[in-house]
């Protein structure tokens, strides 16, 4: 697998850590071939300040990138965008009810919240660090007030 088959997420492979104890590990997955369509991926796991796991997939031919996230209580997010393979920064988004990049919540009495919008911005900084901002717009099931959660961090490769 060459450097650019993973497109703009190629630099992520390995383990990253922040000063607040957050740790993210990215590992390559086997390429997926489907009728001459090649998709390359990284699986990742976040631990420390919160737990999250998922995958990044990149299709070089179409420049489509997705981030698949599984959260507790049966919440699934498929965020994506069209991204050039050499971009050092990108933003991926998903919306509740969208036809392509969407948020799905399986029926579950434990889900107190409905996620309405998810945005993830990632940048490979000149000094080799990784910075990201994650914005989530949500509301409680029993209330129409819209709430926002923002997480920002900068990590160094271990």
Q: Percent of the chain, pLDDT > 90?
A: 66
Output the six-digit token pair for 59: 């299709």
pLDDT at 109: 57
In which band, very low, low, confident or very high, does the pLDDT at 110 lie, cut at 50, 70 and 90?
Answer: low
Assigned CATH class of 3-157: mainly beta
Asked if 96 and 77 touch (Cβ cutoff 8 Å), the reply is no
Would you state the torsion angle of the CA atoms of residues 115, 137, 14, 36, taken in this order, to the nearest 10 degrees?
60
> What's the predicted TM-score (pTM) here?
0.88
Delimit the domains of the chain by residue range. 3-157
List, in sequence order, every residue forming a beta bridge with 25; answer none if it has no partner: 15, 45
**CA-only gyration radius of the chain, Å:** 16
* Model pLDDT for residues 53-81, shown as the tens digit of each residue: 999 999 999 999 999 998 766 788 999 99
Asked if 11 and 153 touch (Cβ cutoff 8 Å), the reply is no
Average pLDDT (133-145) is: 89
């Amino acid at each position: 697998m060459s450097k650019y088959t993973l497109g703009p997420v190629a630099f992520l492979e390995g383990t990253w850590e922040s000063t607040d104890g957050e740790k993210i590990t990215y590992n390559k997955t086997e390429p997926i071939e489907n009728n001459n369509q090649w998709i390359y991926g990284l699986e990742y796991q976040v631990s420390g300040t919160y737990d999250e796991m998922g995958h990044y997939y990149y299709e070089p031919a179409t420049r489509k990138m997705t981030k698949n996230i599984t959260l507790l209580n049966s919440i699934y997010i498929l965020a994506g965008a069209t991204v050039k393979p050499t971009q050092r920064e990108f933003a991926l988004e998903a919306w509740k009810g969208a036809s392509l990049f969407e948020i799905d919540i399986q029926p579950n009495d434990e889900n107190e919240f409905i996620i309405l919008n998810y945005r993830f911005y990632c940048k490979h900084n000149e000094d080799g660090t990784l910075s990201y901002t994650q914005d989530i717009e949500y509301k409680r099931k029993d209330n129409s007030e819209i709430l926002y959660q923002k997480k920002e961090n900068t990590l160094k490769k271990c």
